[in-house]
């Protein structure tokens, strides 16, 4: 357990360095007109890595064993580090001044005391709580409701593929929108994604798609995850643009670093809630009686009825749909309040 926790801690520490540094660099290297587009290109590259990694890791895990995956990840990270050392030469910045601890803490306080910024962080956490179920609930749900022959890794890969294909085009489409309006579209789409995932229970038997028989869970997972990917295209670049615009000059990295805290809140809540929902509606078969385990095996093989323990498994996704709707309503209130504040400020000026 110790080495595992140490490895996870290093991943967290590395992410804490990488995310604010890269997003801060994007903000400083672009102007107000092109900032959202710059973030969309950055986000596209991130998802190219996500898609490529999942594509390679899935067969590696199956054919060579799960223990080979960390070695692949370490090798890929080392290769990226070597490329950065050899290729990337940041321009000299005469205005750049190293920050001492006091200045760093002051910057952190400045970011977290910005009420408008903090409120949007908490509201968008609802989006990422649902998106995080690609890694929390979805794999177990697919394996327990469709069987071991179905590969959750391939379903999850739909998300980065959609982002890579559409994020730059969508960001160009909404380039003149206020960030909160683009975020609103994303927040309206995210409950639809979990609702689509829940709707596989509405089908009975395989679905015929252009002559191919497709499991309803496969069909609705792909549709739901595709909606998630499109929603991310509306959310992430404009959200990062909003965060960068809240920052005073020289504080972009601090604000953009804190902008990613929404995933911390989202995944702490979402992963814990996922465990409760899985246990209640889609339990691990080995925790059930031998008779129910045998019934579950026969059901997956199409040779018996569904065990009652799994009759309401789709309620898991209804719960996340409710979270998405609540987050959408919170964002509508946020936009209404901030618009009134801005209008009153303009009148006072």
pLDDT tens-digit profile, the chain (349 residues): 788 889 888 888 887 778 777 877 787 777 777 878 888 888 898 889 888 888 888 788 778 888 888 889 889 889 988 998 898 776 666 565 666 667 767 777 887 788 888 999 999 999 999 999 999 999 999 999 998 888 888 899 999 999 999 999 999 999 888 888 999 999 999 999 999 999 998 888 888 888 889 999 999 999 999 999 999 999 988 888 888 877 777 677 778 778 888 998 999 999 999 999 999 999 999 999 999 999 999 999 889 999 999 999 999 999 999 999 999 999 999 999 988 988 888 887 6
Residue 91 has what pLDDT? 67
Ramachandran category for residue 211: left, alpha or beta (phi over 0 → left; psi -120 to 50 → alpha): left
Please state, in angstroms and rounded to a whole number, the distance separating the CA atoms of residues 154 and 148: 13
Please state, in angstroms and rounded to a whole number, the distance separating the CA atoms of residues 107 and 97: 14
Phi, psi of 214 (to 5 degrees): -120, 135
Residue 277 has what pLDDT? 96
Please state, in angstroms and rounded to a whole number, the distance separating the CA atoms of residues 190 and 306: 29
Please state, in angstroms and rounded to a whole number, the distance separating the CA atoms of residues 46 and 22: 11
The domains found in the chain, sorted by start residue, are: 2-84+123-348 (1.20.1250.20)
Of 235, 102, 91, nearest in space to 163 by CA? 235
pTM higher than 0.85: yes
Answer whether 5's CB lies under 8 Å from 11's CB: no
Residue 7 has what pLDDT? 85
List the end-to-end C-alpha distance of the chain, in Å, as a whole number.
60
Residue 97 has what pLDDT? 61
Residue 94 has what pLDDT? 54
């Amino acid at each position: 357990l110790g080495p595992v926790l140490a490895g996870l801690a290093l991943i967290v520490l590395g992410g804490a360095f990488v995310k604010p540094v890269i997003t801060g660099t994007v903000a400083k290297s672009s102007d107000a007109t092109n900032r959202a587009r710059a973030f969309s290109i950055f986000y596209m590259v991130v998802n190219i890595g996500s898609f490529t990694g999942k594509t390679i890791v899935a067969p590696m895990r199956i054919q060579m064993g799960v223990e080979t995956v960390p070695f692949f990840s370490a090798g890929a990270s080392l290769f990226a580090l070597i490329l950065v050392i050899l290729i990337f030469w940041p321009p000299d910045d005469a205005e750049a001044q190293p920050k001492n601890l006091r200045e760093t803490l002051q910057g952190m306080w400045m970011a977290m005391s910005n009420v408008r910024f903090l409120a949007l962080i908490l509201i968008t956490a609802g989006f990422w709580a649902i998106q995080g179920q690609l890694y929390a609930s979805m794999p177990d749900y697919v394996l327990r409701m469709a069987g071991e022959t179905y590969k959750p890794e391939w379903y999850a890969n739909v998300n980065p593929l959609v982002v890579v294909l559409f994020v730059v085009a969508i960001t160009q489409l909404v380039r003149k929108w206020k960030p909160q309006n683009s975020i609103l579209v994303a927040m309206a789409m995210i409950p639809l994604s979990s609702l689509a995932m829940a709707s596989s229970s509405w089908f009975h038997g395989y679905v015929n798609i252009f002559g191919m028989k497709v499991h309803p869970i496969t069909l609705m997972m792909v549709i739901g995850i595709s909606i998630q990917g499109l929603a991310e295209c509306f959310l992430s670049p404009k959200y990062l643009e909003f965060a960068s615009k809240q920052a005073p000059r020289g504080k972009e990295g601090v604000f953009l670093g804190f902008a990613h805290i929404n995933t911390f809140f989202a995944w702490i809540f979402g992963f814990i809630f996922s465990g409760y929902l899985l246990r209640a509606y889609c339990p691990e078969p080995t925790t059930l009686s031998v008779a129910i385990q045998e019934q579950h095996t026969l059901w997956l093989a199409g040779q018996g009825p569904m065990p009652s323990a799994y009759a309401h498994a789709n309620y898991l996704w209804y719960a996340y749909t409710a979270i998405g709707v609540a987050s959408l309503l919170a964002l509508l209130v946020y936009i209404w309040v901030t618009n009134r504040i801005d209008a009153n400020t303009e009148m006072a000026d």
